[in-house]
Structure 1
Amino acid sequence: MKTVKIRFIISCLIFCFLSCNKQKEQKIEQTVTAQPEMVLDLVALQANSKLGKDTVVTVINDPVYHKTKKYHAVNASLLLKNEMDLSKVDIKNTLIVFECIDGYKPEMPLELFLETKSFLAFKDVDAPKGSNWEKIVKNGNEMNADPFYLVYTSISADNQKYKWPYNVIKFHLEPKNKNIEALQPKDDEAAMKGFELFQKYCITCHAINGIGGEMGPELNYPKNVTEYWKETELVDYIVNPASFRNKVKMPTLGITKQESQEIVDYLKYMSGKKIEVRK
């Protein structure tokens, strides 16, 4: 009888030991795989006086104002390093995405951003009294750069690798392959040409299945743009938007009609790949 009791007690101890170990393993696994949210809210940092030390920077031939400008600014890459734990990020395979008030979301390699002396401007030295910014005039519309404008002191505005977004409110860190895997037409070589052009010219303003910018309309859900635009007119519109609409927000991309057709062919391909966009 005593032997049975001893065996029972030993079995219970072994069960408890294994259960505890399993729970520990699960906790360890959760600790390893958990990833922090890679979003930096610049407006919140400013409200809490956490942007860092400010300085005055000079930008020669500013691409937005088209002249030499001076700004009150903070070191953008230093701010990112101070506020995010980059030891948990694969820097070589990560993009930094700049979210703007109007939904515009340009991006560039995080590695390139960190290598460059970039500044987050929050006030224009030349702004009129009572304002933080000199007015920006674009396509007949007036606006300002508030709350932040990303600038560089040693990079030419002609270098397309670098982005100069204004109205910036957040920095996002995302894997380089996130958009490629979700939007790439792997089974269609012809559509691939249009996909590459879409990635280069369109995705900063337009989304497909919720992936991309929000400045322009979503192009695939619930209806693909090719389902309610005449194809020939859509091709012509992409080449020269101003020939269709006065004070149009969409810029002239400088692409050929053939390239525009390839973009439209890609959009037609994606019409069969709709994914519900949840708000």
Structure 2
Amino acid sequence: MRRCFVLLSTLLCLPLQAAQLTLELGSASRHWQSAELLAHPLAQDIRIDNDVSYKKTMHYRAVPLAVLLEGVGPEDHLQAVADDGFAAEMPAAPLLKDGPARAWLAVEDPARPWPALGAGKHSAGPFYLVWTQPQAGGISPEQWPFQVASIRRLAPVATRFPALLPDAQLASDDPVNLGFALFQKNCLACHRLNGAGDAQFGPDLNLPHNPTEYFQPAFLRSYIRDPQSLRQWPQAKMPGFTSAVLSDPELDALLAYLAHMATRKQP
């Protein structure tokens, strides 16, 4: 037993190892080692106020994400996949802009590791997509994926997953269609619906039951705003979506989409 304790203590004290980020942006993959990115000629030290994951000001060595997205155009669609199965769906256009809201790939230096995200948790590294002036671009918390393992260029969500689509007869400005866009931005990184999606993080939101079927409307709104207000669970991972992230009219539209999809189950 003592030998096991000594071995465990030794392992916990070992320094972080260099990590690898995979970019699949075309016919071939590009692999970046953390040391390469830290030494990138455009890497710089940046300050992030109100960091989404750490809830405080953080400083990072980072590379403008746009310089790594060779061959990607504003019309393209990207997906950032994390080690835990979180899969952030993101249009490429905001990621390619040089401001005012600007995307950066923060790189954890094995010699100077970042703090843990919480008790018993790892840091946000080795790769973390962060933003300067995110409010200027309407960037949501789901567009800050951490522990990123790969970034891929893919077809848009509606093309890849037709089981997510609302009724085609709805008008383009119908709240359900707005809700579908908000679902892609805020929910699809963690959840599937009708079994469709790449996330491996949270439960399916339509099968076997849609939350609009078993939550009273007021409680469902409270749950989305602050999950811990209904179910206090230390291991809970779902963040709350404040009105600054999801306005009341946007929440109405998101709920309209979910209620609509409850009538379009596709096992």
Decide: shared fold, TM above 0.5: yes
Question: 180, 183, 193: which is aligned to 1:208?
Answer: 193
CA distance in structure 2 between the partners assigned to 1:268 and 1:199 by the alignment: 16
Q: Residues 235, 146 of structure 1: CA spacing in aligned structure 2 closer, same or farther, 3 A cutoff? A: same
CA distance in structure 1 between the partners assigned to 2:214 and 2:111 by the alignment: 44
CA distance in structure 2 between the partners assigned to 1:50 and 1:80 by the alignment: 15
1:240 is aligned to: 226
1:271 is aligned to: 262
1:3 is aligned to: none
| Structure 1 residue matching 2:228: 3-state secondary structure | helix
Question: 206, 212, 224: which is aligned to 2:209?
Answer: 224
| Structure 1 residue matching 2:80: 3-state secondary structure | strand
Structure that is richer in helix per residue: 1
CA distance in structure 2 between the partners assigned to 1:193 and 1:121 by the alignment: 32
1:171 is aligned to: 151
2:123 is aligned to: 144
User: Does structure 2 retain, via aligned residues, the 8 Å contact 1:235–1:257?
Assistant: no
Question: 1:133 and 2:114 equivalent?
Answer: yes
Question: 18, 41, 57: which is aligned to 1:67?
Answer: 57
Question: 95, 101, 104: which is aligned to 2:77?
Answer: 95
Q: Residues 262, 107 of structure 1: CA spacing in aligned structure 2 closer, same or farther, 3 A cutoff? A: closer
Cα distance per residue 1:122-161 (max 9 Å; x no partner)? 325994xxxx222224xx7743112211235xx3143434
How many residues get paired? 222
Identity of aligned residues (%): 26
CA distance in structure 1 between the partners assigned to 2:148 and 2:175 by the alignment: 36
CA distance in structure 1 between the partners assigned to 2:197 and 2:66 by the alignment: 25
Could you tell me which amino acid in structure 2 is paired with residue 250 of structure 1? M
Q: Residues 111, 80 of structure 1: CA spacing in aligned structure 2 closer, same or farther, 3 A cutoff? A: same
1:122 is aligned to: 107
Question: 158, 179, 182: which is aligned to 2:135?
Answer: 158
CA deviation after TM superposition for structure 1 residue 171, in Å: 0.4
CA distance in structure 2 between the partners assigned to 1:149 and 1:115 by the alignment: 18
CA distance in structure 1 between the partners assigned to 2:46 and 2:175 by the alignment: 46
User: Does structure 1 retain, via aligned residues, the 8 Å contact 2:90–2:185?
Assistant: no
Q: Which moved more, 1:201-210 or 1:114-123?
A: 114-123
Larger radius of gyration: 1
Structure 1: gaps of 5 or more residues: 1-35
Indicate the RMSD between aligned Cα atoms, in angstroms: 3.8
2:46 is aligned to: 58
CA distance in structure 2 between the partners assigned to 1:104 and 1:68 by the alignment: 22
CA distance in structure 1 between the partners assigned to 2:179 and 2:229 by the alignment: 22
Structure 2: gaps of 5 or more residues: 1-23
Could you tell me which amino acid in structure 2 is paired with residue 204 of structure 1? A
Cα distance per residue 1:78-102 (max 9 Å; x no partner)? 3332xxxx2xx6x232122211122
| Structure 2 residue matching 1:108: 3-state secondary structure | strand
